[in-house]
Amino acid sequence: MKILIVGAGFSGAVIGRELAESGHSIDIIDSREHIGGNCYTERDEDTNVMVHKYGPHIFHTDNEEVWNYVNAHTEFKPYINRVKSTSKGAVYSLPINLHTINQFFNKTMSPAEAEKFILEEQADTSIIEPVTFEDQAMRFVGKDLYQAFFEGYTKKQWGCDPSELPASILKRLPVRFNYNDNYFFHKYQGMPVEGYTPIIESILNHEKINVELGVEFSQETALGYDHIFFSGPLDGYFSYQLGRLGYRTLDFERIDYEGDYQGCAVMNYGDLDVPYTRIAEHKHFTPWENHEKSVCFKEFSRSCGENDIPYYPIRLVEEKEMLARYIDLAHSTKGVTFVGRLGTYRYLDMDVTIAEALKTAKQFLQDVSDGVSPKPFYVEVL
């Protein structure tokens, strides 16, 4: 089959490779001038630091197949994400752990004492089933820690009150009653030695894959192909005919510095009066390299306009209703499968993106061999 894939990020690259391995001819286009989508990394010209152009990406997964997959395409070094947060003039450790709790409340509690203290004196145990982000925080850490670390940050990040957001957003972060300050709890965690771009390059390196950059998708581009995998915005494929799905976008403000600017890779800012959410100092993502000069990026979150790069799907009630209508539209459209963060309008970590791409390719190949019409989605979208 002759297949067109729109988007050269992880979804498009992995699906392209799997189908190419099965003998199909793959053309991949991307509107940007580089591969890798928002995972794109490059060495900064001035400092030679590996910069994550669209914000920090740390690879973490429990999925052994995915871990082996990425390791087959590039060398990883162990990397543990240890995040700090500045709140009201003091620096704390994130995710909330025993160090955070003891420092914040000026105590020297043991794990058991801290757990009892949070449960009996801080947490709002009247909340049985947390539904919103605010409920989830109030139930598990209580008002004081919620206000210091989550309320302001989340208002800045999402542009709305945490009481309007689902609890699932906060469930991404653990609360620990020991001194483990690893931001993630997955079995495998690491950083690609030469960044993410070479992984995508290696995945795309196949004689049956042809990549063209700087090419916008249009319905004319699609002519002559047997099937399309679309990893661009779902609403964009349908020319936004039912309205625009809401996203948050990010603006980055560069800081150049001689030496070590903040001493860690990621410093979050919990206070509402600090306009940015965090500062990433990229040389700390490669602790095995030595760099005198440093480059950091302040991250500002705002509502995504028509010409901005979409980052985080908002997925509140309104967006979900619109999403359901776009899904119906997709089901009545033949010859295209929607994939990835933008194609399925979900916030996806890299490992989930790769796992879903592998699954999509496998099930598509199965449908083709069974003579069944390919499906618009091979994953649960709503």
Binding site for ligand UDP (CB under 6 A): 85, 94, 149-150, 153-154, 157, 169-170, 172-173, 268, 270
Q: C-beta of 22: minimal distance to ligand UDP in Å? A: 33
CA distance 59 to 191: 6
As a whole number of angstroms, the distance between CA 263 and CA 260 comes to 6
For 226-292, where are the E strands, in sequence order?
Answer: 227-230, 247-258, 266-269, 278-281
What is the closest distance, in whole angstroms, from the C-beta atom of residue 219 to ligand UDP in the complex?
33
Nearer Cβ to ligand UDP (61/268): 268
**Shortest reach from residue 296's CB to ligand UDP, in Å:** 16
Nearer to ligand UDP, 12 or 152 (CB): 152
CB 178 within 8 A of CB 115: no
Is the N-terminal amide bond of 95 cis, ω within 30° of 0?
Answer: yes
Which residues, 6+ apart, have CB-to-CB distance to 273 below 8 Å?
none
CB of 154 to ligand UDP, least distance (A): 4
CA distance 65 to 334: 31
User: 12 or 270: whose CB is closer to ligand UDP?
Assistant: 270
Which of the residues are catalytic? Answer: 172, 176, 248, 278, 299, 347, 349
Which tokens hold the place of 265? 């890779």
CB nearer to ligand UDP: give 17 or 60.
Answer: 60
List for the chain the helix, strand, coil content (%; round to 5): 35, 20, 45
